[in-house]
Amino acid sequence: MRILIVEDEIKLANATKRALEIQKYAVDVAYTGTTGLDMAIGEDYDLIILDVMLPGTDGIEVCRQIRTAGKHVPILMLTAKGQVTDKVIGLDVGADDYVVKPFSFEELFARVRALIRRPKNTTDTILKIQDLTLDPQSFKITRAGKDIELSTKEFSLLEYLLRNKNRVLSREQIVAHVWDYDADVLPTTIEVHIKHLRDKIDAQHNIRVIKTVRGRGYTIRDE
Ligand code: CA
């Protein structure tokens, strides 16, 4: 799942990026509102973390313009302590939730997880297909009750497939939601990661859950 952070405080932005990357998200950072707005509209993020206090175009205006552009991506606002009006205006212009600075990463992760699962299924936090399970909170993956170890990218890829199960996902969609902007994604990158994922989750089982749909992409399917 891919996240954009829009925050002009470079240290905070970079520390948040690193913390989220450890949580297996692909993360981009924009240090100004205008860059953030361009990236938010030009790319397909699963979540945007948007600071209200930005020089030039502020977070409220960025949020308003993202919604005006027709983007429904979840937006989590970062507001300064005591700025109650920022929260109210932020929610009015289409933000989904807010975190008050200073925040702990644990609090941020909880909000991020809640917003990323919101559009799909609000109660079931464990992602599942047949006898394969993925817990986005503990990163535990099991197939037929046995634990499976995946690399960060394999985990992200499996999470993205599971969150969109029974849908065919193109290579472009997979790249947009699993890799960050700076990643070197070669034409073979997806195939290589899918192969590694299959070796770990499908190879020893009669039912293969990851399917290749010729000319269109990949899907993880109940059948
Ligand atoms: Ca700021």
Give the N- to C-terminal CA distance of the chain in Å, as an integer.
25
Residues around the ion ligand 1 (C-beta < 5 A): 8, 51, 53
What H or E segment, with its residue span, contains residue 206?
none
Residue-wise pLDDT tens digits, 112-171? 999 987 655 445 688 999 999 999 888 999 999 999 999 999 999 999 999 999 999 999
Q: How far is the CA of 74 from the centre of ligand 1 (A)?
A: 19
Using DSSP's 3-state secondary structure scheme, residue 142 falls into: strand
Q: How far is the CA of 114 from the centre of ligand 1 (A)?
A: 23
Residue-wise pLDDT tens digits, 7-34? 999 999 999 999 999 999 999 999 999 9
Residue-wise pLDDT tens digits, 43-100? 999 999 999 999 999 999 999 999 999 999 999 999 987 777 777 788 888 999 999 9
Confirm if 202 and 210 have CB atoms less than 8 A apart. Answer: yes
> How far apart are the C-alpha atoms of 30 and 84, rounded to whole Å?
25
Write down all domains in the chain, each with its CATH number in brackets: 2-120 (3.40.50.2300), 127-220 (1.10.10.10)
Q: How far is the CA of 115 from the centre of ligand 1 (A)?
A: 21
Judged on CB neighbours under 10 Å (0-12, 13-18, 19+), 77 is buried
